[in-house]
Structure 1
Amino acid sequence: MDNKQKTGNPDKDRINVKESYELEYWSKKFKVTPDQLKQAVKSAGTSAIEVEKLLKKLK
């Protein structure tokens, strides 16, 4: 779980779909539904770059 007391972007390249604010942020960024994002993370892993690559292939 993220420590919200620590500021900065240590996890900026990882997607944690268990955190609602991250799920909302990444869904909007990639223009997909939260369920689509969860499926992409399940397939590609938590790397934002890999998830983005997968989603581009699917469009």
Structure 2
Amino acid sequence: METKTQVEIPETKKAGIEEDRELSYWSNKFGIAKEELKEVIRHGGTFTEAIEKYVNRLKYAV
């Protein structure tokens, strides 16, 4: 009998921005410009949950 194991790859909890490809990925994921992402991270840190909350507040504040 063959058993299948599903492997889940957890999404990282921190947004890395040291490399341009990382910065591009996260800015696309959150739907904001690279410079905006840098500013958000400067104010709120690199935890993706915090970034998402901050970005959502900005979007709904308009």
Which TM-score bucket, shorter chain as reference?
0.7 to 0.9
Post-superposition, which runs of at least 4 consecutive aligned residues in structure 1 deviate over 3 A?
none
Superposition CA RMSD, Å: 1.7
Q: TM-score, normalised by structure 2?
A: 0.73
Q: Post-superposition shift, 1:11? A: 7.6
Q: Post-superposition shift, 1:21? A: 1.2
Q: Residue 55 in 1 paired to residue 17 in 2?
A: no
Q: For 1:48 and 1:10, how far apart are their aligned partners in 2?
A: 13
Q: Say which one has the larger Rg.
A: 2
List alignment gaps of at least 5 residues for structure 2.
1-8
Q: Percent identity?
A: 33
Provide the secondary structure at the position in 2 that maps to 1:32: coil
The number of residue pairs the alignment matches comes to 51
Provide the secondary structure at the position in 2 that maps to 1:43: helix
> CA distance change for structure 1 residues 10 and 21 in 2, over 3 Å: closer, same or farther?
farther
Deviations 1:6-59 (A, max 9, x none): xxx688111121121110001101110000000011111010000110011011
